[in-house]
Amino acid sequence: MTEIGASPMTDRSLPKMLTQASGMERMFPTLTPAQIERIAVHGRVRPIRAGEVLIEAGEQVVPFFVVTRGQVEIVRPSGTTETLVAVHGPGQFTGEINMLSGRPALLRARASEAGEVIELDHEHFLALVQTDSQLSELIMRAFILRRVELIAHGLGDVVLVGSNHCSGTLRVKEFLTRNGHPYSYIDLDRDADVQVLLDRFHVTAADVPVVICRGEVVLRNPTNQQIADCLGFNDAIDQTQIRDVVIVGAGPAGLAAAVYAASEGLDVLVLETNSPGGQAGSSSKIENYLGFPTGISGQALAGRAYTQAQKFGAQVVIAKGAKQLDCDRKPYAIEIDDSVRVPARTIIIATGAAYRKPSVENLSHFEGAGVYYGATFMEAQLCRGEEVVVVGGGNSAGQAAVFLAQTTKRVHMLVRSSGLAESMSRYLIRRIEQNPAIVLRTNTEIVALEGSEHLESVSWRAAQTGSTETHDIRHIFLMTGAVPSTQWLDGCVALDAKGFIKTGPDLSHDDLVVAHWPLARAPHLLETSLPGVFAVGDVRGGNIKRVASAVGEGSIAISFVHKALHE
Ligand SMILES: Cc1cc2nc3c(=O)[nH]c(=O)nc-3n(C[C@H](O)[C@H](O)[C@H](O)COP(=O)(O)OP(=O)(O)OC[C@H]3O[C@@H](n4cnc5c(N)ncnc54)[C@H](O)[C@@H]3O)c2cc1C
């Protein structure tokens, strides 16, 4: 523990941001004496002195503290000043989501009055939340609500400097948002004082987006992996440890597999190229997932699942994907982006699918600068009050159109075929037909995009008349389906004609002969042509393209992983 002599200047004139939020008792619950006793069994009681720093911002793997006497304040340090965020009195506890993942602390915790705390180290804290379901629920809820408030107020350890007209800025925003990481944003186009900040870090406007990590490290147009490394998202991967199961992909299928595997005592590593949540993470509202009658955003669902997997002890590695599968020997090995190899007894492939792109010249130029593949709250803010285009006739296009129609002037829904997809849910078709802000244009396709830095106009052609129209529209949403992410498997498992992975009963006798299937038994349900390697969710041939089915498959696969491990 460190102690600071002269306390930095703490800005107490600002409101205590967190304490103003609704649901205060849930965010900062006061534990009962019986609950405190149950926690004390896992930790040690110790005195605290006024001014003593219990947790320093940036410190990795921090302890959990319950205040039993005195007071602990939570502040955000920034140079020589501090912003007061919250005050914990007797019966209250420190921490937020980072406590679970072991990522560096975002804020400083300091005793503002002498007293006493119960201290639990990371391991004992995990044991507590895994074994005491009542306390686990109370603590998890508080941690999640605290994180939501930190995000809402941009109270974190990252400053992003960029422009809304720059695709790199949107990528970084999306990466931080989808990883649930709070950040402050400075818009170069709107904030005149920004030059002072740039000068301080010797950054020119050409370097944007710029990410300032913990007030120290300045990253110029960084990759997602560089951001993840700088913010300490990932623990080092132990390459000598042979994992019971390596799960590739942290969409709904991979996260479900991680939750079940870790909760059943398996040693689990999850690899994710981008951010947890997969396609579902880009959905503004999922209304058909069991248990959420008023719907849930894909981001919220993914955030909860990610936290749940970590609570049970799964190691989840962000912005580091599988590059290659070494399937010629056992244990199998997965090569990761930076040439790290992880050995695995079994593997679950949950790499899902990537968006299909229409062949329009300069499409990639406008990606993130007017062309989007998901319609969430973030994109909706960018095109508020404007006309937009949604391309596609399936469920995700329908959802996007209905969602965007709430905040935009008009939604042009372009469908290449003669109508909405047969697979589209009835409730969506009705909402589209009844919404005067949505103009459905069938037999129509995008033919050109124009603009300089940002998309400025869109042209589409109606197949029946052959006529082309051009409109001053700055935002289009491509919701045109997806192709499976199987390139990295390089012939290791049998694929169907469209490149999806064949599993279980879909594998023919010939498939197994070609794959040299070595066992007397047939492949299990969800098992690929490689024993002990399973495929779940949208990457699997015959998948249902639903969050619930991906989650179901992820969980089912674990029962077969146990069997394969005992073989
Ligand atoms: C906009 C949108 C809205 C939707 N709305 C709904 C809905 O309302 N209800 C519903 O039931 N379904 C909905 N869906 C479908 C649902 O989201 C998908 O069926 C589901 O996400 C599939 O889950 P998955 O885990 O199999 O794959 P994905 O969600 O595709 O996740 C795969 C993950 O693997 C990662 N990955 C890929 N390659 C690698 C690699 N080599 N190494 C490491 N990681 C890798 C990807 O980055 C990704 O995170 C929607 C889809 C979209 C796009």
Does position 5 have pLDDT exceeding 50, yes or no?
no
Q: Which atom of ligand 1 is nearest to the CA of 537?
A: 26
Q: Is the CB of 374 under 6 A from ligand 1?
A: yes
Q: Average pLDDT of the chain?
A: 90
d(CA 9, CA 408): 44
- Between 103 and 459, the more confident residue is 459
Least confident range from 106-110, 176-180, 244-248, 527-531: namely 176-180
**How far, in Å, is the centroid of ligand 1 from the Cα of 302?**
10
Instruction: Give the angle subtended at the CA of 67 by the CAs of 61 and 71, to the nearest 5°.
Output: 110
CB 408 near ligand 1, within 6 Å: no
Q: What is the pLDDT of residues 380-394, one digit of tens each?
A: 988 999 999 999 998
- Residue 321 Cβ contacting ligand 1 at under 6 Å: yes
Asked whether residue 2 carries a pLDDT value surpassing 50, the answer given is: no
Q: Do residues 116 and 48 touch, judged by C-beta distance below 8 A?
A: yes
The residue-averaged pLDDT of 276-287 equals: 85
Which of the residue ranges 103-107, 259-263, 277-281, 289-293 has the most confident prediction, judged by mean pLDDT? Answer: 259-263
Is the pTM for the entire model greater than 0.85? Answer: no
Q: Mean pLDDT, to the nearest integer, of 250-266?
A: 98
- pLDDT tens, residue by residue, 295-339: 998 889 999 999 999 999 999 999 999 999 999 999 999 999 767
* Pairing mode, strands 64-78 and 108-120: antiparallel
Q: Compute the half-sphere exposure of residue 452: CA atoms within 13 Å on the CB side of its CA.
A: 0
* Model confidence pLDDT, tens digit, residues 407-441: 999 999 999 988 887 778 888 999 999 999 999 99
Buried b (16+ CB within 10 A) or exposed e, 201-232: eebeeeebbbbbbbeeebbebbebbbbbbbbb
How confident is residue 192, by pLDDT bands cut at 50, 70 and 90?
Answer: low
Position 82 scores a pLDDT of 86
Confidence band, pLDDT 50/70/90 cuts, at residue 1: very low
What is the CA(325)–ligand 1 centre distance, in A? Answer: 21
Ligand 1 pocket member 531 (CB < 6 A)? no
**Cα-to-centroid distance, 466 and ligand 1 (Å):** 36
Ligand 1 near 222 CB (within 6 A): no
Give the C-alpha separation, 477 to 355, whole Å. Answer: 11
Q: Is the pLDDT of residue 42 over 90?
A: yes
Q: Tell how far the Cα of 394 is from the centroid of ligand 1, in angstroms.
A: 15
* Terminal alpha carbon distance of the chain: 48
pLDDT at 377: 81
Q: Can you tell me which atom of ligand 1 is nearest the CA of 287?
A: 8
Looking at residue 4, its pLDDT comes to: 33
Q: In whole angstroms, what is the distance from residue 540 CA to residue 47 CA?
A: 56
pLDDT of residue 456: 96
What percentage of the chain has pLDDT greater than the value 90? Answer: 64
